[in-house]
């Protein structure tokens, strides 16, 4: 079975909702992503490129997708589009304003096994809140208790526990940090869209 991971190759503005053209570097960035479908055996090459144009709304969701080039397998392409519609982005900014924009995205799709790690999280709305939680963690306070008190994510009801997560689904900078995180340790506050998150890597449960 060919599992899919992907590498961001290129992202650039096409235009914004007001039809203005801009060279502002604050283009949309991938925040979270659902996995692409398993690649069928009809696609024999070890990797291929997807070229698409996405309309990213002001809330970071995907409003529309136009494929320019895909795998060539129409069924897989349709499933991939459905998956990418569930992705969430840090929205674009133009002159310090959050905007909706058309955004061209190229992905090189390659195959690899998913990397599942047991994680917990504390999600905060502001950097100040996240920094306060981080300092309490450094003083030895319990991660789960702090998650229940301070996290704004639904996982707070489970003491911040997410279960085993395929970390390929996070943005590359977060993926790299989590992958190198020792068991039992937690990250510094990480920018997560307009919010801030602290992850803890948990011990794998033996079954």
Tens digits of residue pLDDT in 12-34:
544 444 434 444 457 888 888 88
Mean pLDDT of the chain: 83
User: Residue 207 falls within a domain, yes or no?
Assistant: no
Q: Which of these three, 52, 78, 111, is where a domain ends?
A: 111
110, 24 contact by CB (below 8 A): no
pTM: 0.62
- Give CA 67 to chain center in angstroms: 21
CA distance 34 to 38: 12
Residue 207: how many CB atoms within 10 A of its CB? Answer: 3
Same domain, residue pair 61 and 142: no
Same domain, residue pair 75 and 139: no
Same domain, residue pair 124 and 60: no
Residue 119's pLDDT band, with cuts at 50, 70 and 90, is very high
Q: 180: domain range?
A: 116-201
**Per-residue model confidence (pLDDT) at position 21:** 41
Q: Which of these three, 52, 82, 111, is where a domain ends?
A: 111
CATH code for the domain of 11: 3.30.2420
Q: Which of these three, 66, 94, 111, is where a domain ends?
A: 111
CA distance 146 to 150: 6
What is the number of domains present in the chain? 2
CATH code for the domain of 166: 3.10.50.40
């Amino acid at each position: 079975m060919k599992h899919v991971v992907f590498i961001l190759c290129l992202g650039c503005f096409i235009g914004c909702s007001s039809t203005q053209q801009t060279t502002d570097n604050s283009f949309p960035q991938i925040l979270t992503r659902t996995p692409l479908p398993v690649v069928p055996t009809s696609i024999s090459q070890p990797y291929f490129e997807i070229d698409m144009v996405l309309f990213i709304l002001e809330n970071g969701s995907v409003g529309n997708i136009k494929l320019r080039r895909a795998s060539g397998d129409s069924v897989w392409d349709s499933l991939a589009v459905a998956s990418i519609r569930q992705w969430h982005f840090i929205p674009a900014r133009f002159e310090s304003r959050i905007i909706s924009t058309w955004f061209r995205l190229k992905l090189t799709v390659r195959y690899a096994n998913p990397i599942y790690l047991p994680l917990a999280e504390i999600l905060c709305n502001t950097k100040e809140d996240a920094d306060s939680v981080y300092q309490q963690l450094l003083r030895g306070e319990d991660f789960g208790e702090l998650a229940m008190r301070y996290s704004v994510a639904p996982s707070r009801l489970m003491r911040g526990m997410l279960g085993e997560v395929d970390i390929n689904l996070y943005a590359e900078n977060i993926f790299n940090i989590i992958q190198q995180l020792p068991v039992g340790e937690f990250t510094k506050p990480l920018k997560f869209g307009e919010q801030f998150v602290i992850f803890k890597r948990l011990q794998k449960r033996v079954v």
